[in-house]
Amino acid sequence: MMENSKTIAGFSSPRTDIFPAGLRVLVVDDDPTWLKILEKMLKKCSYEVTTCGLAREALYLLRERKDGFDIVISDVNMPDMDGFKLLEHVGLEMDLPVIMMSVDGETSRVMKGVQHGACDYLLKPIRMKELRNIWQHVLRKKMQEARDVGNHELDQYDEMWMLNGVERLSGKKRKDFENKHDEKEMSDSRCVDSSSMKKARVVWTVDLHQKFVKAVNQIGFDKVGPKKILDLMGIPWLTRENVASHLQKYRLYLTRLQKEDEVKASFCGMKHPDVSCKETSSSLSLQNPVDVCTDVTKDKYSGDSGDKAIVQNGKSNIYESKVKGVVLMPVTEPRSVVGDNFDSQVAGSKIGLTESFGLVNTDVESANLPIPYCSTGEAPQPQYKQDFKPHFQSANGSSHQPLPVVSHQIPVDRTQATCFLNHIPSREERNRHPDAENKPSFFKSKCGVVGNFSPIESTVNLFQPVSQQQRNVHILEQMPSTTWSARSCNVVNGPQSSPGNLSLRSGSMVASVGEDVCGASIQGECFLANNGLRNIEQFDYNDPQPISGVPTCLYDTLRFDYEYPIDSLEGIVMDQGLFIV
């Protein structure tokens, strides 16, 4: 890669042959024309370019090739995922500098980009001279990190410290320092194997982040401090500064969530499933029709916890399968748990139950149940093929996790899952049903993989939140087996078609409940009381997090099966993440 730089006329200083050249840039834009132009421009800058037309694909790439990129350039408007959301993911997970670009220079948009952590905001048409300079963001970030590492390795970075001081003083001197610094950096991070520079940089993996969130929740959001978190996390190489900076980000993130929540409150506060889809979609600024499936049992729970809304694409089917018999944990009173847990942790910390999806359920039973797959946040697909049992067990083993955590992780895994699954958004619902029996169900992914869920004795419940036109819910209870067909987003699958998608084998009961989910009571009061409609949670929501004192672990997996008319593809937003639009 270094060789190319010679061909480029633009670089005047010989030094540039080394550092900025070969900078690994990931460009994300749904517009192929811009992708082609940007690729060419960046190549001319002798950067190493990877292009990507979908935000999801980009996230997948970024996760797959950790440390494979130095900087990300992303468009703001993309059909499959909002650029801001991608930005948020990248910021939290990879901590890479992200440059946003758009043809729209409206201050509010630029502001939003900066607030979400963009290091720069470029207006289209983007000029090559702007791209030539993007390396400065990479350098700045590295310097920042070096600063964070602070005193530990001060000797190594004293040049940088000086540089920081000089930065404010004069531009001229600064250049010299930068030159020196670059040389040093080159020898540090490129020639020498893993340099101290690298060590300084903490990549907040899903795992690490989970530990972090767990610690935060354990301490209590109000009392939380970097030192305490660090102690709780028990990771030797992590420094207080690493944690502090991550905590800061996390706080910002939660604040944003809360803000959004406030905005959406009126919509998300719905206690009933028969939420008007249109309202939701508009409040969430989803470009697609959205379906909201909310908990049925509002009365059972305290007000806040009642706000469980699941938003899915307009046309979606939710399948809930219950697995029984995997009871590993002692049962607790759901109610009490919810109240305490929820109020203190969630409400107290001002974490809004914002994301319509994430916080779907506050009630303990469901909220706390871990989801079978995606627990590691990695390659969900294979997991589908596995039977539920292993997952459940691991899930059961987990301890209680306060809601905020849950909500937070959802987006992450979810996205991943979708990547693997050909962008099939899906969710899971967990349910606890002592009597339920788990029968085998089949899952078909677009790629033609048919997974057989091992028959753990369980009953499969299917909830079908209906889209706008038909807002009725079909509840299929006690089904021996179910066939799921998961399709990619491009497939058009109306709710109406759901019966077709589900092939109910013997003994299934389908109740069409019309607009009121409460109709679920058809299945018997006890069911409702115990299980309620339960929470519908995102299925990728992986948390190995334990649910507080859940007696029996029954998991319901919810799948949304949705399709978009092809033409409306642009409008597809998989907004279910907690990340703010």
Partner 1 sequence: MSMVYSYIFRKENFYLYRNMQRQAASMKRNLFNQEYLDEQFNELEELQDDDNPNFVEEVVNLFFTDSVRLIRNIDLALANGPYDFGRLDDMMHQFKGSSSSIGAKRVKRECSQFQEYCNERNIEGCKRAFQGVKQEYATLKTKLDTYFQITREAS
Residues in contact with partner 1 by CB under 8 A are 30-34, 36-37, 40-41, 44, 75, 77, 102-104, 124-125, 127-128, 285, 287, 567-568, 570-571
CA distance 297 to 295: 6
CB of 508 to partner 1, least distance (A): 37
**Residue whose CB is less far from partner 1, 281 or 441:** 281
CB of 481 to partner 1, least distance (A): 40
Q: Which two tokens stand for residue 380?
A: 């969900």
**Residue whose CB is less far from partner 1, 299 or 567:** 567
CB of 444 to partner 1, least distance (A): 29
Q: Which residues are registered as beta bridge partners of 444?
A: 450, 485
CB of 307 to partner 1, least distance (A): 25
CB of 12 to partner 1, least distance (A): 17
CB of 131 to partner 1, least distance (A): 11
**Residue whose CB is less far from partner 1, 37 or 379:** 37
CB of 134 to partner 1, least distance (A): 17
**Residue whose CB is less far from partner 1, 278 or 385:** 278
**Residue whose CB is less far from partner 1, 288 or 409:** 288
**Residue whose CB is less far from partner 1, 86 or 421:** 86
CB 224 within 8 A of CB 350: no
**Residue whose CB is less far from partner 1, 79 or 372:** 79
> Residue 260: how many CB atoms within 10 A of its CB?
22
Tracing tokens 């955590």 back to the chain, one arrives at 405
**3-class SS at 580?**
coil
CB of 265 to partner 1, least distance (A): 20
Burial class (CB in 10 A: 0-12, 13-18, 19+), 148: middle
**Taking CA 392 as the corner, what is the angle to CA 387 and CA 395, rounded to the nearest 5 degrees?**
140
CB of 107 to partner 1, least distance (A): 16
Nearby residues of 356 by Cβ (< 8 Å), 6 or more positions away: 264, 267, 268, 280, 284, 292, 309, 310, 311, 576
Distances (CA, A) of 337 to 112, 127, 220, 334, 554: 37, 56, 16, 5, 17
**Residue whose CB is less far from partner 1, 75 or 556:** 75
**Residue whose CB is less far from partner 1, 468 or 470:** 468
> Residue 89: how many CB atoms within 10 A of its CB?
23
**Taking CA 501 as the corner, what is the angle to CA 500 and CA 502, rounded to the nearest 5 degrees?**
95
CB 201 within 8 A of CB 145: yes
CB of 536 to partner 1, least distance (A): 26
CA distance 207 to 221: 20
**Residue whose CB is less far from partner 1, 104 or 231:** 104
Cα-Cα-Cα-Cα dihedral sign, residues 337, 339, 344, 348: positive
**Residue whose CB is less far from partner 1, 17 or 31:** 31
Strands 509-512, 474-479: pairing kind: antiparallel
CA distance 302 to 297: 10
CB of 567 to partner 1, least distance (A): 5
Angle between helices 206-219 and 240-268 (to 10 degrees): 80
Report the run of H or E that residue 291 belongs to, with start and end.
strand 290-294
Nearby residues of 580 by Cβ (< 8 Å), 6 or more positions away: 84, 85, 88, 116, 256, 257, 259, 260
CB 405 within 8 A of CB 545: yes
